[in-house]
Amino acid sequence: MKKIFKFSLLALFVGAVSCDDAIDINQENELTEENAYQTVADLQTGLNGVYAAYVPDAGSNGTGDVILFNDLFTDNIKRGLSSSGQGNQVYNFILQPGSQFPATLWSNRYALINYSNRLLKAWDRIFPTLESGPDIETANQIKAQALALRAIGHFELLQYFTVNYEDPSAPSIILLDFVPEVTDVFPRNTVGESFEFINNDLNEAADLVGDFYAKDVASPFNAYYINGDVIKALQARVALFQGDYTSAGTYVDAIEDNYTLSDTETGTYQAMYNDDTTTEENIWTLARKDGDNGVVALFYANSAEIDGSPFFEASYDLYDSFEANDLRTSVVFNEEDGETTSPGDILLIGKYPGGSFGVQVNDVKWIRWAEMLLIRAEVQARAGMLTEAAATIETLRDSRYQGNAPSVSYGSLNAALADILLERRRELCFEGHRYLDLKRLGADIGEGIDRDDRDCASFSAPCNLPAGDYRFTLPIPTVEINANPGIEQNPNYN
Amino acid sequence: MRSKFTWIMTLLLAFSFTFSYAQEKTITGTVSDPLGPIPGANVFVKGTQIGVQTDIDGKYSINASVGDVLEFSFVGFATQTVPVGQTNVINVTLEEKAKVLEGVVVDKYRNITPVTSASAMATVSVEEVEDRANASIIQNLQGQVAGLNIGTGSGQPGADSTIILRGVGSINGNIEPLFIVDGIPVDEDGFRSISQNDIASYSILKDAAATSIYGNRGANGVIVITTKRGRYNQKLSFRYTTQFGYTKLQNLNMELMNSRELLEFQKANGVGLGASLTDAELDLRARQANTSWKDVFFRTGVTKSHDLSITSGSENSTNFTSLSYFEQDGTFLNTNFKRFTVRNNFAGKSDNEKFNYSMNLNINFSRSNGIDGAGSNAIFFAPFRAALHGLPYLSPYDPDGSITNDGGVVPGDPNSVTPNVVPYVLLNSVNMNTDQEDELKILGSFSADYNFADNLTAAIQLGVDYSAFKLLEILHPNSILGPFQVDQNAEYGGIQSEDATRDFRFNSTVSLNYNNTFAEKHNIDASVFVEYYKAHYDGISFDQFGLDPRLVGTGSGFIDSGIFEDLDDNVNTPDTQPYIPSIGSFKVEEGLFSYFANLDYDYDRRFGISATVRRDASFRFVDDNQWGTFWSVGGRWNLEAESFMENSRDVVDMLKLRASFGTSGNQRVNNAQYSILNQYLNLYGAGSGYNGTSSTVPTQIAYRGLRWEEMEQSNIGIDFGFWGNKLSGSIDVYKKLTTDLFQDTPISPINATSSIDTNIGAMQNQGLEVTLKYVVFKNDEWRVSVNGNTSYNKNEIRELPASYDGIVFGGGSSALIEGSQINTFYVVKYAGVNPSNGNPLFYTADGGLTETLSDADRVDTGKSIYPVWQGGFGTSVNYKGFEFNTQWSYFADLYRNNLDYAELEETNVVDDGSNRVVSTANAWQQPGDITSVPRVGNPFGAVDYINSTDRYLEDASFLRLRNIQLGYTFSDKVLEDLPITGLRFYVQGENLLTFSSWRGWDAEGGFRSTDRGNYPTPRIYTLGAVVNF
């Protein structure tokens, strides 16, 4: 009996030392998903993070996201005054699975998609608990924006990693509408599946967005958020790449009442770039504020001036593509500091002059009415309406030129598309379009990269890359292959 | 009286057991220590189960035959053996503390005597390291134990050492052994606070049989430290020790230019001050100033210590109390260390001895005044670099002949703070700034056991390791750099940073032990344990920008953060607040839980098996990965106890074969304490969001698959003692394989990151260890002995994540390469100077020559920062009261980048405010020159050579006279009329001699990969005295 008593005492003693508090520990600074997202306001902060993860303007010192790559890989840039070799590989058409840009784009956009999916997962948990009408409306608007951003992530990956947009069964990208486990890997979905996925996201976003931040509702309106018009504009872009020109035209028409072109003669065009002013032309502008990555750092080590260590300059080829009375040159090239007027010389890039949040910080004018007009012109031309297409281009040029632009007429579809491609180059240079334009539109009319001899000599690089070259599609990057060795690579990369 | 009766009963009992033997006689005698008789000491007839204990007067009586060997032992004392001869009276005096391979090894969970131990372990008795003058007790162990690497990379007194046992076992995880002090697991980095004089013994547990019982933290070996305690029925005694001495800089093994050499070199190359001087001016300047800046920055420091310990014991309680004070100056200006410690070790027992308990309490306070910037590349904040690189033609004196405080550099003037005046800036910072670290460390343990039924004992042990740190750094507003700290245009400068942390670690173990002997020859000792561990760490910190120079060091000197100033000197812009402090606070915890069992079986002291199995859970892991199972088996065969060895008993005292195999786990998969706390969770945090908003973003992507790093180790060893243990030692071979290494693994970027740390890959260590001790000569007056140990360890990465193709290289000079050592130097081989143009030449990967550096030409050098060979040896000579001991240690086959030398021989630029070594003047000048120094203006700087080539990758092997000591102990006769019972004087020196080809101050680098402006370890000379009364 006494022994039993002793043993039970011992058992009590051992039992008193509970193991749970030693091995199930919650650190007090842990913010789990459940705690992080509890209210609609929390979801809004999550959305702020998703927006912040979309950085087409990221990069510095010779490496970057799409805004740098589109112009550097093609014919809009030459070696800068203060270059120590930045961007040399890209300019030399060296594109490998291990190259920086494919990895940057793949990683940045999938991070955007991941953040968006994490937010949407929390949304699904919180939405059923909402009761007040305003909360439900706000939540729907948040979901609309998250879906649109997820669509943008997928669409941009599709644009660069797909060989042929119009072959629905060809491999495209990995589609994710959920948060994966870290050990998960997936094969590429097809082009058809990808477009369907993107369109579904945008359609659902359009249904949910309501009058959020609509131009006539928001005050002041500064084009910084994804509203119904932005979604339509995105849908126009997607339809254009999908080859669904009719829809592209319809989406452009749907928002035409809300936007007009800025003008170089009244100075609204210049103000849009030099002062980050929101004009009637801006459909979506990426806001860049204190502490944000500076877009100027893509081209200059310090600031957008001749003493600011420009390691990239605009190319002679781009400079020569403008006609004499085209006033856009005053924005595209920084004429005050450089020697732009006597080519020979220094062609400083002027589209991002630095702003009130720092000498390297400017908003990114990401979707403008001018681009919508260029889509409309292309849709018209492809529909055989060459006269209408010419008129659309002429309208655009009139707003850009000193006085009236020369009249335009097209003798053939190819001539029209060539002129549209030229106009896209002038209008959209340094805004993330040139590589994609040559890939899509250039391939249609047999126009590849054809640099001015002086430009390619500045980097001792090749001057030409023929239309349809395999390097107009990016290789699946090594960062993905490392974890996912079975993924299908694009042709001609190994 | 009652107790005495018990002893008499025991005595009678002993008689009754041994009565039946024939040809035996009764041996009697007294067992005592230098202070008096020892009651309760064990007396065994060696090789048998026959044994008795001494009575209260230390007397014993035992039956034995001529030719038998009697073995006398007592906890805390060296075991003595005496052969039975013609005499019937054998009195022995036991010496305090175990010698190598003798005595009792006390680990946390078991008491094992080496004869019955199946494990590879080494014991360092305190007398081998006693009275040494290092602030950190761990530094004393260097070179003492085969396989134990101790690297100290700083001369700051009390600096932490890196400790590696049997090779590096993890890439990113903890690589240091577990430290147990009096049963409490303690922080392996906190040894400066423990007083040397409190230590009784160190046991180093190496193989799986020894460490597996420490499963959850024993993968890298275990070092068990016990402190002194009193004995029952012991007279009150005092021991007072004191030391006084000096610390000095070691010799600099390189030849720096003097003023004239440097100015002429500058003049020849048309740069710097030298180029602007005429020959006459140059001559004048060279004679005006020729400063050795190391003599300005370094000094002879003072070291002193006082320790008093009081020991006593009554019938049922013992007590050990000690007080100690230690103070040591660093060799660098304004660096020092002070420590005050108090210890009380109390033990008690019940009359029937069935219940025992003890309580150890140790409180330490230390203050370390140090200096930041060792290894820094920021030249204005790198004091040790300035002492080595300072320009010799700058005078350290003010016009009045005193050492200057600023060299005329104006505080806050950006134009006057140039690389040329670095020594002035640093001298100013060293004198004016504060960098102080206070540590309050409390180690407390309580243990109790109760023999509640036959053969059954229940025990509990509780331990606490509490460390409170307080860091104080002040950059004085009036110092040269002070005004830059807030804003150049702000009215006040200076920064005061304080950082207070508390680290509380609690450990408890409850156990049940069963011990029984069957049929006289079968002894079983089995235990089950439950162990709980929890650690809490929190802290607060602030940085105050802007200090009132009149009140520096106090909170009253903080400039009000509400003050607005017009920093841009523009009335049109709003004023700003420059003095807003930054603040921080954190709190984290860790926990472990385990249960385990241990079984020891002994057959007739001839064979033994020891087995352990344990289940461990770590808070770091979840689901199926949370619990790990680790086990070990070890076996031994005591050949000396076999009958066929009977004829060799004169020669062979001990010959034991051991073998063990087992596993242990490492849950600290990232080396830093309190990191990887919740890798299994997706976590979010607040960040800056789009359009100037705040955002919620993912900050950690969950990985639930994280699990234990597992180490399996096999060991075969032999322990031996010949000719009355005249020659004793042990030899071990081992192989350790770590699997499931925690390391960077690629994951798909769809997770918003492209890599995550997971358990993948394998690494192996294998080696050989030899320990020998030989008593060369011994008689009544003389005792001469030598000892030595050496170890060889080969480390090899066996497997890396597959997608890396066998090599993980992330820039810098080293890489992880399958088949090579961890962090092997992976660089381009330097081929010398091209005689035709003076440019450096490098070997391409296929053996050609090139002048350009390309990653494609990097090769695996097979060299690493960890030594392949390591060991030590010592001699000990005693003559009457004199003793003379030396202790040497060596590291061989280890390499380190010498950036100091690279910068001092740099010819890429030569006007960089740094002195040069003399050989720089040999730089290539014209075609045909054959030289080792590339031309002035060659395209590569010092850092290029370090990061990409093996030009300055140097062999850091060394042999060092770690300690030399001469002492004299006065005989009892001399002390007869004095009120003291013992007196000893000694002189000793640390690090007096070093043999190494390393070009710098200190070949010892604490397993750094690169030396740049580090704090060299000092030489220490002390004179000491020990008084017993």
- Cβ atoms of B746 and A477 within 8 Å: the answer is no
Indicate which of A119, A182, A184, A366 best probes the interface with B, i.e. most B CBs within 10 Å of its own CB: A182
Closest CA–CA distance from residue A288 to any residue of chain B (Å): 6
Pairing of the two strands B849-850 and B222-227: unpaired
Is B689 within 8 Å of A49 when comparing Cβ atoms? yes
Instruction: Print the SS3 string covering A368-427.
Output: EHHHHHHHHHHHHHHCCCHHHHHHHHHHHHHHHECCCCCCCCCCCHHHHHHHHHHHHHHH
**Domain tally for chain A?**
1
One-letter amino acid of A81:
L
Chain B residues in contact with A114 by the CB 8 A cut-off are: 698, 750-752
In B, minimum Cα distance to A19 occurs at B593
pLDDT on residue B22: 37
The 3-state DSSP class for residue A194 equals helix
pLDDT interval class at B107 (50, 70, 90): low
- Note the pLDDT tens digit of each residue in B752-764: 998 888 898 999 9
Q: B325 phi and psi, to 5 degrees?
A: -130, 135
Chain A residues in contact with B807 by the CB 8 A cut-off are: none
Is B750 within 8 Å of A53 when comparing Cβ atoms? no
Q: Is the pLDDT confidence value at B895 over 60? A: yes
Is B690 within 8 Å of A287 when comparing Cβ atoms? yes
Q: Maximum Cα–Cα distance for chain A, whole Å?
A: 113
Q: Compare CB distances from A291 to B677, B688, B752 and report the shortest one's residue.
A: B688
In B, minimum Cα distance to A102 occurs at B749
One-letter amino acid of B376:
S
- Please calculate the CA angle A282-A283-A286 and round it to the nearest 5 degrees: 80
In B, minimum Cα distance to A357 occurs at B692
Q: Compare CB distances from A48 to B685, B694, B752 and report the shortest one's residue.
A: B694
Residue A123 belongs to a domain with what CATH number? 1.25.40.390
Interface confidence, given as ipTM, is 0.92
Chain B residues in contact with A36 by the CB 8 A cut-off are: 684, 696
Interface of B with A in 451-470 (CB under 8 A): 452-453, 458, 460
For A127-136, B152-161, B278-287, which range has the lowest pLDDT when averaged over its residues? Answer: B152-161
Chain A residues in contact with B512 by the CB 8 A cut-off are: 10
Chain A residues in contact with B803 by the CB 8 A cut-off are: 481-483, 485
- Note the pLDDT tens digit of each residue in A206-254: 999 999 999 888 888 889 999 999 999 999 999 999 999 999 999 999 9
Indicate which of A23, A40, A104, A227 best probes the interface with B, i.e. most B CBs within 10 Å of its own CB: A23
Total Cβ atoms within 10 A of residue B958: 20
Chain B residues in contact with A289 by the CB 8 A cut-off are: 691-692
Closest CA–CA distance from residue B627 to any residue of chain A (Å): 10
Q: Compare CB distances from A182 to B688, B692, B703 and report the shortest one's residue.
A: B703
- Note the pLDDT tens digit of each residue in B634-683: 999 998 888 888 888 788 888 999 999 999 888 888 877 888 899 999 99
Interface A–B counts its CB contacts (< 8 A) at 172
Residue B510 CA to residue B512 CA, distance in Å, equals 7
Pairing of the two strands A59-60 and B683-688: unpaired
Give the residue, A288 or B184, on which the prediction is more confident: A288
pLDDT on residue B98: 34
Helix or strand (DSSP H, E) at B341: strand B336-349
Chain A within 8 Å of B681 (Cβ-Cβ)? yes
Q: Compare CB distances from A19 to B617, B696, B748 and report the shortest one's residue.
A: B617
pLDDT on residue B16: 36
Chain A within 8 Å of B690 (Cβ-Cβ)? yes
Q: Compare CB distances from A182 to B452, B534, B747 and report the shortest one's residue.
A: B747
Chain A within 8 Å of B585 (Cβ-Cβ)? no
Interface of B with A in 108-127 (CB under 8 A): none
- Cβ atoms of A458 and A78 within 8 Å: the answer is yes
Chain A residues in contact with B679 by the CB 8 A cut-off are: none
Q: Compare CB distances from A115 to B460, B586, B752 and report the shortest one's residue.
A: B752
In the predicted model, what is the mean pLDDT of residues B832-852?
92
Residue B286 CA to residue B293 CA, distance in Å, equals 15
- Note the pLDDT tens digit of each residue in B434-445: 999 999 999 999
Is B751 within 8 Å of A51 when comparing Cβ atoms? no
- The alpha carbon dihedral of B91, B96, B102, B105 has a sign of positive
How large a percentage of chain B has pLDDT more than 70?
95
Indicate which of B696, B700, B747 best probes the interface with A, i.e. most A CBs within 10 Å of its own CB: B696
Chain B residues in contact with A477 by the CB 8 A cut-off are: 749
Q: Is the pLDDT confidence value at B100 over 60? A: no
Is A29 within 8 Å of B530 when comparing Cβ atoms? no
Chain A within 8 Å of B747 (Cβ-Cβ)? yes
In the predicted model, what is the mean pLDDT of residues B886-914?
92
Interface of B with A in 607-666 (CB under 8 A): 617-619, 626
Structural domain that includes position A414? 40-473
Residue B513 CA to residue B498 CA, distance in Å, equals 49
In the predicted model, what is the mean pLDDT of residues B406-417?
86
Chain B residues in contact with A180 by the CB 8 A cut-off are: 748, 750-751
- Cβ atoms of B269 and B936 within 8 Å: the answer is yes
In B, minimum Cα distance to A484 occurs at B748
pLDDT interval class at B854 (50, 70, 90): confident
Residue B437 CA to residue B369 CA, distance in Å, equals 6
Chain B residues in contact with A30 by the CB 8 A cut-off are: 678, 681, 683
Chain A residues in contact with B696 by the CB 8 A cut-off are: 36-37, 42, 45-46, 48-49
Burial letters for A197-225: b for 16+ Cβ neighbours within 10 Å, e otherwise? bbbebbebbbebbbebbebeeeeebbbbb
Chain A within 8 Å of B746 (Cβ-Cβ)? yes
Helix or strand (DSSP H, E) at A138: helix A133-161
Q: Compare CB distances from A118 to B617, B698, B754 and report the shortest one's residue.
A: B698
pLDDT interval class at B802 (50, 70, 90): confident
Chain A residues in contact with B453 by the CB 8 A cut-off are: 3, 6
pLDDT on residue B9: 39
Domain-by-domain residue ranges, chain B? 2-93
Question: Using omega within 30 degrees of 0 as the cis cutoff, is the peptide bond preceding A180 cis?
Answer: no
Chain A within 8 Å of B807 (Cβ-Cβ)? no
Exposed / middle / buried, residue B584 (Cβ in 10 Å: 0-12, 13-18, 19+): exposed
0.95 exceeded by pTM = no
Chain A residues in contact with B693 by the CB 8 A cut-off are: 45, 48
In the predicted model, what is the mean pLDDT of residues B340-355?
93
- Note the pLDDT tens digit of each residue in B466-479: 999 999 999 999 99
Which CATH fold topology does B2-93 show? Answer: Immunoglobulin-like (2.60.40)
Is A49 within 8 Å of B749 when comparing Cβ atoms? no
Domain for residue A182, yes or no? yes
Chain A within 8 Å of B529 (Cβ-Cβ)? no
Residue B186 CA to residue B159 CA, distance in Å, equals 17
Residue B666 CA to residue B620 CA, distance in Å, equals 11
pLDDT on residue B34: 65
Beta strands in A220-331 (DSSP E): 282-286, 312-314
Mean pLDDT of chain B: 87
Segments in chain A below pLDDT 70: 1-19, 336-344
Phi-psi region of B869 (alpha: psi -120 to 50; beta: other; left: phi over 0): beta
pLDDT on residue B569: 79
pLDDT on residue B353: 87
Closest CA–CA distance from residue B562 to any residue of chain A (Å): 23
Total Cβ atoms within 10 A of residue B19: 9
Residues in chain B, overall count: 1029
pLDDT on residue B465: 93
Closest CA–CA distance from residue B679 to any residue of chain A (Å): 11
Q: A297 phi and psi, to 5 degrees?
A: -65, -10
